[in-house]
Amino acid sequence: MVEVHLWSGLKAYTGGAEKVEVEARNVGELLRGLVRAYPDLEPTIEAGVSVAVDGRIIASSLTEPVSPENEIYLIQRLKGG
Amino acid sequence: MAPDGNMTNGFKVVGTRPKRPDGVDKVTGRAKFGADANAPGMLHASIVRSPHAHAKILKIDTSKAESLKGVKAVVTRADFAEGLTGENWNILENVMAGDTALYDGHAVAAVAATTALAARDAAKLIEVRYELLPHVTDVDKAMAADAPVIRSGAADKSVPEGMHPNVVRYHESGHGDVDKGFAEADLVIEESFKTEATHQGYIEPHACLAQLGPDGKGEVWCCTQGHFNVQKVCAALVGTETSQLRVTPSEIGGGFGGKTVVFIEPVALALSRKANRPVKLVMSRSEVFRATGPTASTSMDIKIGMTREGKITAAQGVFRLQGGAFPGAPMEFTAMCAFAPYALENVHQIGYDVMSNRPKQAAYRAPGSPMAAFAVESVIDELCNKLDLDPIEVRLKNASKEGTKASYGPKFERIGLVETLEAARAHPHLTAPLAEGQGRGISCGFWFNHGGETAVSLALSEDGTVAISVGTPDIGGSRASMGQMAAEELGIPYENIRTTVADTATLGYNEISHGSRVTYASGLATIKAARDAVKKLCARAAAKWGIDEEAVVWEDGCAKPSGPNAGEFEPLPLAKIARSMGRTGGPIVGHYEATPEGAGVSFATHIVDAEVDKETGQTKVVRYTVVQDAGKAIHPTYVEGQFQGGAAQGIGWALNEEYIYGEDGRLQNSGFLDYRIPVASDLPMIDTVIVEVPNPGHPYGVRGVGETSICPPLAAIANAVSNAAGVRLTELPMSPPRILKALNDQAHG
């Protein structure tokens, strides 16, 4: 299981939890696992999110590996000007 | 160096300042920009725009226009795809209004005719009957209970119950206990700030030439930061297949985020399909102001607590951003960037995305971050003043470092904020005496940077020269830096390489040139494509020598046996291998396609001296120094240019630029005479210091530099102006009337 930190605004979709656990080996599995566990997260995840793995921000790639040793944060999708 | 490894020193070409490859074309007028594209039988188009801020469209009568000589096609919303959802629907609704005009300048119809004059005349003959609706253009008023609703049901699920329907997205993040932190502070300052919308102010208006046949095949030539995105969005909006639409980018006369989106290309395509002829569409400056994508305007509340020793004990911010009549104001970036420079145990930030009757906002260099820095760094400056603390030392005491838990959650990797602060502290600017009436301001700034989908191809010619194809429009000197990185890898002269921005039919999908990603992501892809080519070159040498490929190394532009055991062979230079490549296995082309995810975040520290005339309220920036972490500067002149450009645009944003709306909701200053961007005589020489703390996610350590440079200026200038005027300025722009009002308010208690 990997531990995923959510931003506070998502608490409404996870029964108040800001930290949740899902079974995942990569970012894609992590996002799918979040939606399975908390279906209300789906619109947010579908709209686009980034995943910070040990501080490295994964903006797009679903194949980046994750493991229980990683510090994982869900953050909002990055774009720029 | 290992073929796949990283290097941070020992460069031969990287870090030098070769001539820019587009220089001669641009100074001689040979460069082709968006409006320079022409085609046989081409028509000219004009767009009819709403003069109202908010109005129901009751009827559009095109009959008089269609009967005008030379008119070949008229389009309205009915001529675009139906059934779109999500952001594609938002873009279409912005490109061509449906049943409601949502802002002054909103497109409601378009016409194509044989001449530009006929098109403009025909546009005037299109009769639109409106029913006026109440409007709102101010962010705070748009959130008030009695505000007119821009569009019901636009809010997503994140918005707390009870908010006005114009609040369409909500963000909340942070950690620790801010109440506990504020209780530990010796001084707590709470202040509110406002910033007006500004425009990127690119010199080249949007322009395109489009052709779409009844078979669904089409072509677009346009000025854009992302032609693959133009292809994808246009295909959806006109209802054709993506691959049937080929998009070629022109040279670009500035973008700064404002050309990451689509405004006129789908209109030109729809007109072309109807007329069965190519259609050219060029925006006027007034149209650029009224109907493209300025920044969001903001209303912000900041509260920060600090000890007498300068430690920040808690920080919180509320950030309200209006982004026009559509969701998308970058309030989450405002919230996430606001306190990122500081290591905080207790921090909390809230963001609101608010709709109003203004044009759909677009990105502008580090979208959302400059406004946050303005508010936060102003309060930190005020705390330093009141506690009699040195502003650099306070920032160093609280600075984020590698391993710091960022205000937005994760721990930072290797970052260079401390190094920029130390370089600023050592700079002679910081201790230079100030004249009467002058004040000094300091600010830090932060931006994430980005990677994104990227594909690069690198082809050898028989004469030993190299052609690189990239899919990211060159908005900041990337053709030069790609050439330098390829020259470094291949060991050939920079002058032997030409880099071209290829069209959508040539390469795989490339994300837009945004997020300061090009030198990082296309650069990484160029290095990897060069290494792919080197591998193939080594294989050809191995075959010629009859030895294993692993026994060949690439050094100084030549294939060489890797040691005495590999045999004694004369080194084979690239040109010699290339000359015979057709007979030794075929063309040699290196490729790389990936989504690099190692864009390192970046920080900057700016120092500004400003002089305020208390009689007129006029401000002059008299000295400016930018210190920023570039990771590794590939072409230092371009990096310095990015630093200076960000500072110059920041000076305009801080002092003069603003969208001014009348009571009728119409934009009052849609031209450069009334919307005042800085010109050369408004600016001092902007000094630059390049700090290089390598990004571990790039083979040479590159970090993006294009956006971070605009994060600190608003705050640094506001701090300088406030210190010069002796009164805290909390609204941008700090135009003479605002400064006089602040002085007057202070004088009268």
- The shortest CB-CB distance from A60 to any of B411, B452, B516 is to B452
pLDDT value at residue B1: 43
| Residues of chain A with C-beta less than 8 angstroms from the C-beta of B158 | 9-10, 12, 44
Question: What's the pLDDT tens digit per position in B290-312?
Answer: 999 999 999 999 999 999 999 99
Residue B738 has pLDDT above 70, yes or no: yes
The pLDDT of residue B3 is 46
Mean pLDDT to the nearest integer, B683-694: 97
Contact B260, B364 (CB under 8 A): no
Lookup: tokens for B571: 């080194």
From the CA of A5, how many Å to the nearest CA of chain B? 8
Residue B169 in contact with residue B158, Cβ under 8 Å?
yes
Query: Going by C-beta distance under 8 Å and a sequence separation of 6 or more, which residues neighbour residue B656?
Result: B676, B677, B678, B733, B735
3-state secondary structure B341-379: CECCCCEEEEEEEECCCCCCCCCCCCCCHHHHHHHHHHH
| pLDDT, position A12 | 84
Amino acid identity of B572?
L
Summarize the confidence of residues B544-552 as an average pLDDT. Answer: 96
Residues of A in contact with B363 (CB under 8 A): 79-81
Q: Report the run of H or E that residue B612 belongs to, with start and end.
A: strand B602-612
B695, B697, B701, B704: CA torsion to nearest 10: -70
Chain B residues within 8 A of A57 when measuring between CB atoms = 410, 448, 597, 599, 601
pLDDT at B409 over 60: yes
Per DSSP, B431 falls in state G
Closest to B291 in 3D by CA, of B186, B194, B361, B218? B361
* B174: chain A residues, CB-CB within 8 Å: 8
Q: Give the pairing type, strands B454-460 and B466-470.
A: antiparallel
What is the reported pLDDT for B5?
Answer: 67
The pLDDT value given to residue B24: 95
Residues 434-493 of chain B whose Cβ lies under 8 A from any Cβ of chain A: 447-453
Indicate the residue of B348, B363, B409 with minimum beta-carbon distance to A73: B409
Which residues of chain A lie closer than 8 angstroms to B453, CB-CB? 60
- In three-state secondary structure terms, B105 is coil
> Which range is least confidently modeled, A71-80, B86-95, B679-688, B731-740?
A71-80
Q: What angle do CA B369, B372, B375 make, to 5 degrees?
A: 150
Chain B residue with Cα closest to A12:
B158
DSSP H or E stretch at residue B528: helix B523-545
Tokens 């709209």 belong to residue: A47
Q: Rounded to whole angstroms, how far apart are CA atoms B374 and B721?
A: 12
C-alpha–C-alpha distance, residues B697 and B412, integer Å: 13
CA atoms within 13 Å, Cβ hemisphere of A78: 31
- Tell me which amino acid residue B513 is: S
Which residues in chain A have their CB less than 8 angstroms from residue B645's CB? none
How would residue B158 be classed by pLDDT, with cut points 50, 70 and 90? confident
What's chain A's average pLDDT? 93
Q: Mean pLDDT across the stretch B341-367?
A: 98
Q: Which chain B residues in 271-310 lie under 8 Å from chain A, judged by CB atoms?
A: none
Confidence of residue B2 (pLDDT cuts 50, 70, 90): very low
pLDDT band at B40 (very low <50, low <70, confident <90, very high): very high
DSSP state of B449: -
Q: Is the pLDDT of residue B383 over 60?
A: yes
Question: Closest residue of B to A56, CA-based?
Answer: B598
pLDDT reported for residue B565: 83
Contact (CB<8Å) B172/A8:
yes
Name residue, tokens 């493209």: B292
The tokens describing B172, both together, are 């909340």
Using CB atoms, pick whichever of A7, A60, A73 lies closest to residue B172: A7
Query: B557 pLDDT exceeds 90?
Result: yes
pLDDT at A55 over 60: yes
Which residues of A have a CB under 8 Å from any CB of B? 5, 7-10, 12-13, 40, 43-44, 47, 52, 54-61, 64, 71, 73, 75-76, 78-81
Query: Phi and psi at residue A2, in whole multiples of 5°?
Result: -110, 145
Look up residue B659 and give its two tokens.
Answer: 């969208």
What SS3 state is found at B706?
coil
- Asked if B171 reaches chain A (Cβ–Cβ under 8 Å), the answer is yes
Q: At a CB cut-off of 8 Å and minimum separation 6, what does B328 contact? A: B90, B353, B360, B361
Q: Which domains does chain B have, with CATH numbers?
A: 23-31+451-594 (3.30.365.10), 368-449+600-747 (3.30.365.10)
Q: Indicate the residue of B156, B332, B598 with minimum beta-carbon distance to A76.
A: B332
pLDDT at position A77 is 85
Confidence of residue B157 (pLDDT cuts 50, 70, 90): confident
Q: Which domains does chain A have, with CATH numbers?
A: 2-76 (3.10.20.30)
A64/B157 Cβ within 8 A:
no
Contacts of B621 (CB under 8 A, 6+ apart): B608, B609, B610, B651, B655, B682, B683, B684, B717, B720
Residue range B253-257: mean pLDDT, rounded: 97
Best of B89, B173, B321, B332 to mutate (most A CBs within 10 Å, chain A): B173
State which residue of chain B sits closest to A61, comparing Cα positions.
B595
> Which of B171, B409, B450 shows the shortest C-beta gap to A78?
B450
pLDDT in tens, B423-437: 999 999 999 999 999
Residue B403: alpha-carbon gap to chain centroid:
28
Give the nearest chain A residue to B403 (CA atoms). Answer: A55
- Partner residues linked to B439 by β-bridges: B610
Tell me which residue has tokens 């908390």: A38
CA–CA distance, B282 with B568 (Å, rounded to integer): 63
Contact A75 B413 (CB under 8 A): no
How many Cβ pairs closer than 8 A exist between chain A and B?
113
Residues whose CB falls within 8 Å of the CB of residue A65, separated by 6 or more in sequence, listed in order? A25, A26
Q: What whole-number distance in Å separates Cα of residue B548 and Cα of residue B546?
A: 7
Residue whose entry in the numeric block shows the structure tokens 């209109």: B267
Cβ atoms of B698 and B584 within 8 Å: the answer is: no
Work out the percent of chain B whose per-residue pLDDT is above 90: 97
Instruction: Establish if B88 touches chain A: CB-CB under 8 angstroms.
Output: no
